[in-house]
């Protein structure tokens, strides 16, 4: 195991990984920002919206949320209130933007009302929002989403369509 920061090393130290040979501090990782391909994908999605891509994917996606469950960069959550007669607690629970209740707000309105909107939102977060807000890609290229998708959606093929649009 290699840590990439002093903060990461501190986490390992707090969990008792002090006497070890297999864990090494590799030094700070240099942040280089987005590579040209990620910038191209972000710009295509941001400035050349192609609804046909999302409509086509919306016809085959079954909204199971598996892609977001296995994705190491997904961070959607819900706020839940747990109450009883003794008191209450507001907690944040990990969720998926593909779940029907995720985008439901007061009055029952769903701002992600179609499968096409949900899948566009998922890609937007990975390839536009995360790069814009944090200056690094929202996709690490692990391919987990490809392996678990029962509809056979391949993120690599979707990215190629985005680049060609």
Using alpha carbons, select from 145, 154, 50, 147 the residue that is nearest to residue 96: 145
Domain match, 59 and 10 both: no
Which residues form the domain of 4? Answer: 1-30
* pLDDT tens for the 165 residues of the chain, in order: 556 667 777 777 787 665 555 545 555 555 567 888 889 999 999 998 899 999 999 999 999 999 999 999 998 888 889 999 999 999 988 888 888 888 878 788 888 889 999 999 999 999 999 999 988 888 989 999 999 999 999 999 999 999 998
Domain match, 9 and 58 both: no
Q: Is residue 80 part of a domain?
A: no
Beta bridge partners of 93: 78
Q: Is residue 95 part of a domain?
A: no
* pTM for this model (two decimals): 0.74
Q: Is residue 93 part of a domain?
A: no
Contact (Cβ atoms closer than 8 angstroms) between residue 96 and residue 102: yes
Query: Looking at the 3D structure of the chain, how many domains does it have?
Result: 2
Rounded-to-integer distance, Cα 87 and Cα 97, Å: 30
pLDDT given for residue 134 in this prediction: 85
Domain match, 6 and 66 both: no
């Amino acid at each position: 195991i290699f840590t990439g920061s002093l903060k990461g090393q501190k986490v390992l130290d707090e969990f008792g990984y002090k006497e070890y040979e297999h864990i090494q501090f590799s030094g700070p990782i240099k942040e280089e920002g987005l590579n040209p391909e990620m910038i191209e994908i972000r710009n295509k999605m941001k400035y050349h919206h192609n609804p046909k891509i999302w409509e086509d994917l919306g016809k085959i996606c079954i909204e199971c949320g598996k892609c977001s469950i296995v994705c190491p960069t997904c961070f959607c959550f819900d706020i839940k209130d747990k109450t009883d007669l003794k008191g209450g607690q507001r907690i944040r629970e990990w969720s998926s933007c593909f779940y029907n209740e995720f985008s439901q707000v007061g009055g029952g309105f769903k701002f992600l009302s179609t499968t096409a909107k949900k899948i566009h939102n998922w890609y937007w977060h990975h390839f536009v929002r995360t790069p814009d807000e944090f200056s690094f890609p929202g996709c690490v290229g692990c391919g987990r989403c490809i392996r678990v998708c029962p509809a056979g959606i391949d993120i690599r093929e979707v990215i190629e369509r985005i680049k060609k649009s």
